[in-house]
Chains A and B, each alone.
Chain A
Amino acid sequence: MYNLGQYVARESPVHNRDPRVKIIAVIALSIIILQVNAIGLLIATGMVIAVTQLARIPLGTLLRTLRPVLPFFFGLFFLYILFTPGRPLPWFPIGPIQISFEGLYLGFLQVGKFLLLVLAASILTMTTPSSEIAIGLERLLRPLKIIGVSSHDVAMMVSLALRFVPTLAAEMNSISEAQLARGANFNPNSMKGKIRAITYLAAPLSINIFRRSDELVDAMEARGYQSGHRTYLRELILTPADYGIIGAIILLLTVMLTWHLFI
């Protein structure tokens, strides 16, 4: 099981911030990252590393969250360097393969941006318990009420989805163990075997999910759940420092974006 970006309990200024501040920061950072050039990317990387240090999260733990997405980004990288036209590199072509300066630059830049996005999101989930993310999200989405979306419902969906991750993971294990016990033999070393194992898991798992959700609905209704307004154990209160940080983030975002427009 991957321990992807799971909450790392620490006492740190980043952990103690209001979840809304962190969510806004990640959104702002993502916009900045997608807009910048190579120099901007380096600055953003520096910022991400600084926040990691502040949060007392070891850099190794953070980088490990990249492992499952690496194959995908390698593929992306090769697509960029192979299919970007431009000035050819001197020691090419080798056979039919042609690589350009622009392709190499773009490959590094785009893949670097995506990796940094993943890291930024991981810092959020590593420093904020998922329940706080859900509450923060609920508060941030409250304005959506004017278009008829209940932020309470959205937050409920998010937190239920997160709540059932470990349950379903355990269920998946027990299904696959039951299949192995009855002589199923999926060669875990071959791609074909892995895909086969997944198709055999999918049907029983989805049936179980439907049954579970039926029972869950009853349990929620029995405890008085109704769509719309509800209250929470914790009410979030923004401190002056939180307002200051949000202000600084928005200022930074505006400066970076306008600066980018002028260069």
Chain B
Amino acid sequence: MIRIQNLTFAYEADRPPALQALNLVINEGEYIALIGPNGCGKTTLIRHLNALLLPSTGEVWVDDFNTRGAKGLQEIRSRVGMVFQNPDNQIIGMSVEEDVAFGPGNLGLPSGEVRRRVDQALATVGLTGLEKRSPHTLSGGQKQLLAIAGLLAMDPKFIVLDEPTSSLDPAGKRNVLALLQKLQGQGMGIIHVTHNIDEAALADRVLVMDKGELIADGNPADILSRVEWLKSLGLAPPRITELMWQLQQVGEDVDSSIFTIEGAVNEISALLTELRNSTHDYMSRKVGGHV
């Protein structure tokens, strides 16, 4: 469990704080999407989760370890893994397997155990067979999978990702997102910072930040259906939701808290069936009237 208590953080003392009096509890096994306009403090917030930044005031606890305590640093960093935006600058090893071995090596595990974890992590992300490859020859999507494998080898409870798909092609994105859902299924907590609202819809909890404050926290259906509110924050609502909302605006009776294609198909076909039935009734009544 990660507990954030009254977290305030300022990069410079005389400037307005980047985070203001934030309170948050994150449980294991939760898939959280963190959204918000640029400069709202998303990245600053997640950097507190593994003690890359320390609070100006307030506390951050990872299980029983306070991020301020020097003793728990290794524990915190093995429990909360972090994937950064640019895949190139987080690869340390000269081969795929050595990169994955970097984390367990830092924990000082014996080499037999390091080997076991490396093989297991590579199997989980589906990069088995590329052990000896040089990381710079991998595709962008494979590099992000490699970065995640590097964290899995440290056996984390939470994985924090800062816009992990922003530089990937559609296939790479799909692979990374599928992996995240698989990991959540295994009980891992996922904290996914994203600009892509369709990705946020995959989460079971959405956090919205603006100007250093947490302004909304709830399930995606509630938050992503507030089309006008999202737009006022400079965020784009999911396209499907916006479509439903526009239909609603022209007077159609549809649910605007839908953000999957399947949901929209159901809703629209229900609408069409209703329309067809009423037209049919009308026609048959008209025809009947003439007879």
Contact = CB atoms under 8 A, between A and B. Distances in A.
Contacts, number: 94
A31 interface: no
B39 to A, nearest CB: 18
A235 B89 CA distance: 27
A233 B98 contact: yes
A126 to B, nearest CB: 16
B95 A222 contact: no
B136 interface: yes
A153 to B, nearest CB: 13
Interface string B95-113: 1011001111111111100
Contact of B92 (A130, A163, A234): A163
Contacts of A219: 82, 84, 89-90, 92
A229 to B, nearest CB: 6
A87 to B, nearest CB: 53
Interface in A121-159: 129-131, 134, 159
Interface in A203-224: 212, 215-216, 218-224
B154 A215 contact: no
B93 interface: yes
A224 B106 contact: yes
Interface string A12-56: 000000000000000000000000000000000000000000000
Interface size class of A (residues with CB under 8 A): 20 to 34
A181 interface: no
B178 interface: no
A222 B52 contact: yes
Give the secondary structure class of A's interface. Answer: helix
A229 B150 contact: no
A215 B108 contact: no
Given A166-B134, A215-B89, A224 B110 contact: no
Considering the complex of A and B, which 4 residue pairs feature the smallest CB-CB distances, nearest first? A219-B90, A233-B101, A215-B89, A224-B106
21 contacts: A129-B94, A131-B94, A134-B94, A163-B94, A167-B88, A215-B84, A215-B90, A216-B89, A219-B92, A222-B50, A223-B102, A225-B102, A225-B106, A230-B106, A230-B108, A231-B105, A231-B110, A231-B111, A233-B98, A233-B105, A235-B111
Given A223-B150, A231-B109, 16 more contacts: A159-B93, A163-B93, A166-B134, A167-B136, A215-B86, A215-B89, A219-B84, A220-B92, A222-B84, A223-B92, A223-B151, A224-B103, A225-B102, A225-B106, A230-B105, A233-B114
Interface of A: 129-131, 134, 159-160, 162-163, 166-167, 170, 212, 215-216, 218-226, 229-235
